């Protein structure tokens, strides 16, 4: 069961990152978004591209940081992946996400949801960095679990959106809810999982 869970986790993360690289690297900007969002995408194209690619890097690199074997046997690789994850993925992705949250479709509630997500993503990444600089490995690991649960919002967002559309919900109503739903349960689950799982 644990192996199946990890496999699904990897499949979803790589799937969404691959989707992002294809959609934003090959297709015209805004091709696959809801028509109500396309104008914002085109008006803030630099922010969109920056956020999409930086966040995709974080989504992929973050996966490998939770391998005990990599942490223990290949410490230098773990450190360099972590630095790239935080500096490129979280810092660049978080700042561009914070910028884009001001223009998010769905009104103030959606904008606040995405702004809090970006702010917490930056904050937890900074706390993880401070903890490891101070040699507090367990604290660093806990902040990284929190941080990656926020990174994984890129996946849960893309699960909720098509599911809500298939269920017949009106996009303008459900999108502001998903702006919160895509990350709040992730953090709650990460806290529970970290505090109940055996430490390696």
pLDDT tens for residues 81-111?
999 999 999 999 999 999 999 999 999 999 9
The per-residue pLDDT for 69 is: 81
SS3 assignment for the chain: CHHHHHHHHHHHHHHHHHHHHHHHHCCCCCCCCCHHHHHHHHHCHHHHHHHHHHHHHHHHHHHHCCCHHHHHHCHHHHHHHHHHHHHHHHHHHHHHHHHHHCCCCCHHHHHHHHHHHHHHHHHHHHHHHHHHHCCCHHHHHHHHHHHHHHHCHHHHHHHHHHHHHHCCCCHHHHHHHHHHHCCHHHHHHHHHHHHHCCCC
Give the start-to-end residue ranges of the domains of the chain: 2-196
Residue 70 has pLDDT above 80, yes or no: no
CA distance 118 to 116: 5
Mean pLDDT of the chain: 91
Is 1 a residue whose pLDDT tops 50? no
The percentage of the chain sitting over the pLDDT mark of 90, rounded to a whole number, equals: 71
Domain 2-196 CATH assignment equals 1.10.3470: no
Euclidean distance between CA atoms 48 and 8, whole angstroms: 27
CA distance 45 to 51: 10
- Residues with Cβ within 8 Å of 173's Cβ and at least 6 positions away in sequence, in order, are none
pLDDT in tens, 157-195: 999 999 998 999 999 999 999 999 999 999 999 988 777
pLDDT band with cut points at 50, 70 and 90 for residue 30? confident
CA–centroid distance for 154 within its chain: 4
């Amino acid at each position: 069961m644990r192996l199946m869970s990890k496999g699904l986790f990897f499949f979803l993360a790589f799937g969404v990152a691959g989707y992002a690289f294809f959609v934003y690297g090959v297709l015209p900007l805004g091709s696959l978004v809801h028509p109500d969002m396309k104008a914002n995408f085109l008006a803030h194209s630099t922010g969109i591209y920056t956020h999409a690619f930086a966040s995709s890097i974080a989504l992929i690199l973050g996966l490998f940081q939770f391998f005990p074997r990599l942490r223990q046997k290949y410490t230098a690789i773990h450190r360099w992946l972590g630095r790239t994850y935080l500096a490129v993925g979280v810092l660049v992705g978080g700042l561009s996400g914070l910028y884009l949250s001001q223009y998010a479709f769905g009104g103030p509630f959606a904008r606040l949801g995405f702004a809090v997500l970006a702010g917490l993503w930056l904050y937890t990444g900074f706390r993880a960095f401070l903890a490891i600089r101070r040699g507090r490995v367990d604290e660093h690991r806990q902040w990284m679990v929190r941080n990656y649960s926020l990174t994984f919002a890129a996946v849960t967002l893309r699960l909720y959106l098509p599911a809500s559309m298939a269920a017949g919900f009106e996009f303008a109503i459900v999108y502001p809810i998903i702006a919160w739903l895509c990350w709040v349960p992730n953090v709650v689950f990460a806290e529970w999982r970290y505090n109940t799982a055996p430490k390696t």
